[in-house]
Amino acid sequence: MPSRREFIQAGLAASVVPVAFPVAEPARVASVPNIAALSSHRLTHVVCDARFRCSQAVAIEAARLGLPVVSIDGDISDFWFNDLAPVWSTSPRAIAGLTAHGPLFCLERFGWDHGLRVVFRGVHRFEDGGHVEHSLAGPFRTIAAAHGTLVSDDWPTQLTRLLNSCAVTHDTASTTVRGVIESELERDSDDTLFSWVIAPKHAEPATARRA
């Protein structure tokens, strides 16, 4: 079936070097399982909502990290039908993204049907004056790492690394970080954007579990 998807990775793959990404407290974070380190939880797709420049920045960094990037325009139909459903029907794997609410709403519910959950959720509200408020909830160490990384104006890049290193643990936390936004990204959207990681709810590789 024809698709509207644009894979950003294609044009960038030549320069991609997989990076073991350091977060705020590298020694501590390195000691816990994370998606980048666990092959069963490796991100199979990073979803870019191409309507938003912040999300495009995430796609560029994800591609630089060697992650498969899929571009949508808010509509997940082709991505779901052609890519994700065939994978999740046999082996549900972790995905991440920075999107508007609609794509997350749909993907989260599709994930539920396959034994996956949103294990990290960030709400990014754009404020006047070049600020952005990041409200984050997820694994404790991932949240802790966010404090040192999302305050700068290259937060979409830092966020991508955070998503890729998201540690899947039972202890969770939430926080709010107020940061700045690059001038060209300001007024990117009058909407709130959402970052997320959807991953198997159990540490072991998931089967086609449905609840």
Q: Where on the chain is the footprint of another protein (CB under 8 A)?
A: 1-4, 73-77, 80-81, 85, 100-103, 105-106, 109-110, 112-113, 117, 190-192, 201, 209-211
Q: For residue 128, count CB atoms less than 10 angstroms from its CB and return exposed for 0-12, middle for 13-18, buried for 19 or more.
A: exposed
* Closest distance of CB 129 from another protein, Å: 20
Nearer to another protein, 26 or 86 (CB): 86
Minimum CB distance to another protein smaller for 102 or for 130: 102
CB of 59 to another protein, least distance (A): 17
Minimum gap (Å) between residue 60 Cβ and another protein: 22
Q: For another protein, which is the closer residue by CB, 27 or 109?
A: 109
**CB 92 → another protein: shortest distance, Å?**
14
For residues 127 and 184, which CB has a smaller minimum distance to another protein in the complex? 127
Nearest CB to another protein, comparing residues 4 and 28: 4
Q: How would you write the chain as a 3-class SS string?
A: CCCCCECCHHHHHHHCCCCCCCCCCHHHHCCCCCCCCCHHHCCCEEEEECCCHHHHHHHHHHHHCCCCEEEECCCCHHHHHHHHHHHHCCCCCCEEEEECHHHHHHHHHHHHCCCEEEEEEEEEEEECCCEEEEEEEEEHHHHHHHHCCCCCCCHHHHHHHHHHCCCCCCCEEEEEEEEECCCCCCCCCCCCEEEEEEEECCCCCCCCCCC
Closest distance to another protein from the beta carbon of 4 (Å): 6
